[in-house]
Amino acid sequence: MLYALQTVPGLGTLAWREAEQVLSSGPAQTAPRLVGIKAVPGRNDLVLIAHQGGPKPLLSLRLAEDVFVVAARGYRIAPDERGLRQIYAAVRAAEDVAPALEAWRRLSGLRKPGGTFRVIARTVGRQRYLRRDVGRAVADAVREGWPGTWRLVEDDGDLEVWATLVEQELLCTIRLSDASMRQRGKLRHLPASLRPALAAAMVALTDPAPEDVFLDPMAGAGTILVERAAAGPFAELHGGDLNSEAVNAMRENLRGVKGRIVTSRWDARRLPLEDSSVDKVAVNLPFGKQVSNEAELPDLYQAVLAEIARVLRPGGRLVALTGDTRLLEQARNRAARNLRPGPRQRVIVLGQPAVICEYTRL
C-alpha cells in the first residue's frame, strides 16, 4: 500500500526518518520504503511511503500533520483541456482505489459501501484550467467509477478525497487522519506559536535522551516543550518567556505532562540557571515584524545566544529556528563562538522562509 504523509515545507526528509523508525519497529514483514518526497511549493511536503502493514502507526507520528492513502496517480497530465479528461480517467480506473477505500473503511469503522464525499483540489503549475475544474473531474470519477454509491457534499463528507496536481503529476489520496493530528488535541496557541510538527522536528534534531535536562528559553505557549515530553523520557524540562500570557498558556499546555517541569516568567538574556547545567536547548527565536521589534533583534540574539552558550554543558546541543540566519551567525560570532554550527534545514514558518540551525557546544 502506498501512503502519503503531509508535513511542513522542508520537513519531508525528517518526517520520513521518523516514519521509518516507527514502522520498522512494528510487526510488518518487510521494511517500509521511501518512494519519493513531493513538494507542494510553499504549502507542504508530501512523503510517499510504500508499507505493507495498516496505517495505524502512521497516525501517531509527530512530524506529519496528515496521513493519506494513495488511491490513484497520474503522469504527464496535459496543461490544456485534455488534462481534465486524463485526470478523470486516472482517478476512475486506478487499481489502488479498492484497497485504499478498504484501508480507510477499516480505520473509520464505517461499514456501508459508499456515503458522502468531498474533494479538496490543489494545483501548482501552468495549467489552463482551474482548481475547481480539477475538483469536478475527480468528483465525477469517484461518483461514476469507485465501488459503492458516493454523493458529493461541500463539507463534512464521510470521505475526503485530496487531489494534488503539481505541474503534470497528479496524486489522488484519501485522508485517514483528522484535524486532531495536526493540532494535537486541545493545545492552546498564541499568534507566534509553532506548528507542532515543526516543534517535533526541532526536538528530534536535539537527539532526545532519557537523562536530558532540556530548555526552551523563549518558549511562548510551550509547543516545543510539549513535543519534547512526547518524544520520550527526560530528566528535567525548563521553559520560560518574558510575556506572562505566554507563561500562562505554557502552563496550561503542560498541565497533563508528567515529570520534573519548571516554567517561569523570565528574561532569556539572564537565565536563572547554573553554568553547564543543560544538555539540550531548542528555541524558536522571534523574527519578522509580526512578533518583534526588528531594531532590537541584533542585541536580543546576541544576549540570548551568550546565555544559551553559558548554560549548555560541553557536548550539549542547540537547535534554533530563525528567519534571519545572518543575524544568528553575527550573534554567534560576537557572543558564542563556542557553539559549533552543524547542519541546517530550510522550512516555512507562518508563510515566511526560515531555517532550523543546529549547534554543538564545544
Ligand X SMILES: C[S@@+](CC[C@H](N)C(=O)[O-])C[C@H]1O[C@@H](n2cnc3c(N)ncnc32)[C@H](O)[C@@H]1O
**Closest separation in Å from C-beta 245 to ligand X:** 9
β-pairing, 169-175 vs 66-74, is antiparallel
Tell the smallest beta-carbon distance from residue 220 to ligand X (Å).
3
Give me the phi and psi of 229, to 5 degrees please. -65, -35
Q: Residue 9 or residue 220: which is nearer to ligand X going by CB?
A: 220
Tell me the C-alpha distance between 259 and 236, whole Å: 7
Instruction: Report the relative pairing of strands 261-265 and 278-284 from DSSP bridges.
Output: unpaired
Give the residues across from 341 on adjacent strands. Answer: 359
Q: Where are the alpha helices (DSSP H) in 37-166?
A: 82-93, 97-108, 131-145
3-state secondary structure of 262: strand
Q: Which is nearer to ligand X, 218 or 357 (CB)?
A: 218
Which residue's Cβ has the minimum distance to ligand X? 220
Minimum Å distance from CB 315 to ligand X? 25
- Nearer Cβ to ligand X, position 113 or 353? 353
SS3 of residue 136 by DSSP: helix
Least Å distance between CB 285 and ligand X? 7
- Measured from the CB atom, the residue of 163 and 285 that comes closer to ligand X is 285
Residue closer to ligand X by CB (options 192, 357) is 192
User: Rounded to the nearest whole angstrom, what is the least distance from the CB of residue 279 to ligand X in the complex?
Assistant: 19
Instruction: Write down the residue that cell numbers 506548528 correspond to.
Output: 195
Shortest separation between residue 260's beta carbon and ligand X, angstroms = 21
**Cβ nearer to ligand X, comparing 96 with 252:** 252
Contact between 70 and 172 under an 8 Å Cβ cutoff? The reply is yes
CB of 185 to ligand X, least distance (A): 15
Q: How many residues does the chain have?
A: 362
Of 228, 262, 243, 251, the closest CA to residue 192 belongs to 243
Do 3 and 103 touch, CB atoms closer than 8 A?
no
| Complex with ligand X: residue 8 or 170, whichever CB lies closer | 8
Residues binding ligand X (CB under 6 A): 190, 192-194, 218-221, 223-224, 241-243, 246, 267-269, 284, 286, 291
Return the number of the residue (131 or 182) whose C-beta is nearest ligand X.
Answer: 182
Q: How far is the CB of 47 from ligand X (least distance, A)?
A: 23
From the list 161, 133, 170, 154, the residue with the least C-alpha distance to 40 is 170
- The C-alpha angle with vertex 163 and arms to 112 and 39, in degrees rounded to 5, equals 135
Could you give the C-alpha distances from 147 to 26, 105, 114, 134, in angstroms and in order? 31, 12, 7, 21
Residue type, 350: L
Which CB, 171 or 300, lies closer to ligand X? 300
Distances 351 to 18, 286, 347 between C-alpha atoms, Å = 24, 15, 10
Task: Report the nearest approach of ligand X to the CB of residue 141 (Å).
Answer: 40
